[in-house]
Amino acid sequence: MTGQAPSSATRSRSWKTAVPSRAAGSPRRPPARSCAASPCPRGICPGTGLARLSYGQARALLDAHTAVGGMPGTGWDLHEYRHSGLTHLGEAGASLPMLMAKSRHKKPENVRRYFHPSAEAIALALYLGYPAVTSATIGEPYVYDSTIPRRRSVRPPPGRGRPRRASTTDTAPATRLADMNSGSWSDYATILAGTERSGGYMGKMHADEAETDADLVRRLLRAQFPRWADLPITRLASGGTVNAIYRLGEDLTVRLPLRPGGAEAIAMEARLLPRLAPLLPLPIPDVVATGAPGEGYTLAWAVHRWIEGRNPVEGDLAEPELVARDLAEFAVAIRKIDLPGGPPAHRGEPLIAEDQGMRAAIEALRRTDEPFDADEITAAWEEALAAPLWTGPACWTHSDLMPSNLLLAGDRVSAIIDFGTVGMGEPATDLIPAWNLLPASARRVYREAVDVDDATWARSRGWALSMAVIQLPYYRTTNPIISANARHVIREILGTSA
């Protein structure tokens, strides 16, 4: 695909000459130090401590970290990081990736002093030599100082939260990374290990997955929407499994389905979302244009309005009860919509329709080294199947309220995205955030707010469990975000009785 290993010519450039010249008006960077050791192994220069990170890799790091929640400063921009006193960075628009690059340090306690564990995992993965990913579309590499500021406290910008402190126990980097494999941050460091996608994205998830890159996006735009063809294009790292998303300039995104099934949703979303948007309490995608197959790409595609926000992560919500109330408000509102002409939802059938796939996935999971008891999963599944069926009328449901389809701004839900599964079904399918995102305390708040009976709640556990168990053996080696969330769901459900 578009990702490729750095060429020998790129590796042999001096660290000083690899720095792009400062644009007019941009902040002045500290002078680069000369380096006698070239090429620099593992992306770290032993002579100077400078770490080389391309813009594409920086964006991949930022998007991956944002996708798993990050620390309160994830959304800080260059000015805010400078204001905090953490560091001064080189290029305008720099953000958390630069701090991660700076955290590549031999002393993990220094890393943990300032960074959330997920940032530490990425930093240590880089230090330990996960392969870098570059592409001709990424551009020149940036250079950052890897020295960690020796400060015991950080002054946050006005109105921003203070970065949390992580554990300061003495653990060697290799051991720390291995230990994290059993935690909720298990797979995020491997975001950078794939080499099949530009900017550090994962390899192919599906046998029939379409190949996409920024050059394809530009060709499609030039052929069909030339007014946008010269805008900057950046692929966004995501846990999504259906679409490749590219940011287009400041205000738009391009959505390229990865499989034929995903392309079927393009026309449906263009037709339904304008009708649903005024009836919902949270922003949803705004389809600006739809595109036709072309330039070697065989599927329909779309241009959406950019929505600011970050994906939440299980176990790392600053205000989980507020998030629970926002999600409950959405779930109640969408099921009350009285709008004719809705298609069947992707998960619109009774839960028993998942039984064959679920049992096959349990057996597949049994053959892996995943730390789950297949018999316990089977018992929890059969308990959900025993719940009374939904006997009410079919209602509107989103049907795929995974964390990757939610956006947060600050501590609140700011938008619900990806309506490719929307349609008429039963309300239990939209209660899955209770298990894939919310902690137990917020789960109780959520259940009270959605106001459903015991049977519907039990079926929601079944839907969440079936999605997680079916996803895990399929995505465990190709999509670390989805597989980590699947493990979280299984742990949550096996550890609860209601």
Note the maximum CA span of the chain: 74
Query: Coil, strand, or helix at residue 423?
Result: strand
- pLDDT above 90 for 147: no
Two structure tokens written together for 135: 């592409």
Tell me how far apart the alpha carbons of residues 483 and 117 are, in angstroms, rounded to a whole number. Answer: 18
- pLDDT above 70 for 100: no
User: Vertex 186, ends 184 and 189: CA angle to 5°?
Assistant: 130
HEC letters along 219-230: HHHHHHCHHHCC
What is the reported pLDDT for 369? 86
- pLDDT above 50 for 391: yes
- Domain positions in the chain are 8-192, 214-305, 320-494
Parallel/antiparallel/unpaired status of strands 141-145 and 233-235: unpaired
Closest CA to 87 of 25, 24, 22, 30: 30
Mean pLDDT of 388-412: 94
What is the reported pLDDT for 480? 84
Closest CA to 289 of 276, 304, 274, 269: 304
User: Vertex 50, ends 48 and 55: CA angle to 5°?
Assistant: 160
User: Vertex 56, ends 51 and 60: CA angle to 5°?
Assistant: 90
Q: pTM higher than 0.75, yes or no? A: no
Tell me how far apart the alpha carbons of residues 40 and 44 are, in angstroms, rounded to a whole number. Answer: 6
Mean pLDDT of 22-31: 36
pLDDT band (50, 70, 90) for residue 196: very low
pLDDT digits (tens, 9 = 90+) for 230-275: 999 999 877 777 899 999 999 999 999 998 877 789 999 999 999 9
DSSP string, 117-177: HHHHHHHHHHHTTPPP-B-TTT-SEEEEE-PPP--S---PPTT-PPPPP-------HHHHH
What is the reported pLDDT for 3? 31
What is the reported pLDDT for 216? 96
Two structure tokens written together for 150: 């020796």
- pLDDT above 80 for 25: no
Cis peptide bond prior to 39, omega within 30° of 0 = yes
| Residues ≥6 apart with Cβ < 8 Å to 466 | 351, 354, 357, 358, 381
Alpha helix ranges (H) inside 211-347: 214-224, 260-276, 320-335
pLDDT digits (tens, 9 = 90+) for 325-349: 999 999 999 999 999 889 999 888 8
Q: CATH number for the 320-494 domain, one of 1.10.10.10, 3.90.1200.10, 3.30.470.20, 3.40.50.1970? A: 3.90.1200.10
* DSSP symbol at 390: P
Contact (CB, 8 A) for 419 and 262: no
What is the reported pLDDT for 203? 62
- pLDDT above 70 for 14: no
Indicate if the alpha-carbon torsion angle 475, 478, 479, 480 is positive or negative: positive
Exposure pattern of 96-106 as b/e (b: 16+ CB <10 Å)? Answer: bbbbbbbbbbe
- pLDDT above 70 for 394: yes
Question: Across all residues in the chain, what is the average pLDDT?
Answer: 69
Tell me how far apart the alpha carbons of residues 103 and 111 are, in angstroms, rounded to a whole number. Answer: 6
Q: CATH number for the 214-305 domain, one of 3.30.200.20, 3.30.70.20, 3.60.15.10, 3.40.50.720? A: 3.30.200.20
User: Chain-centre distance of CA 324, in angstroms?
Assistant: 20
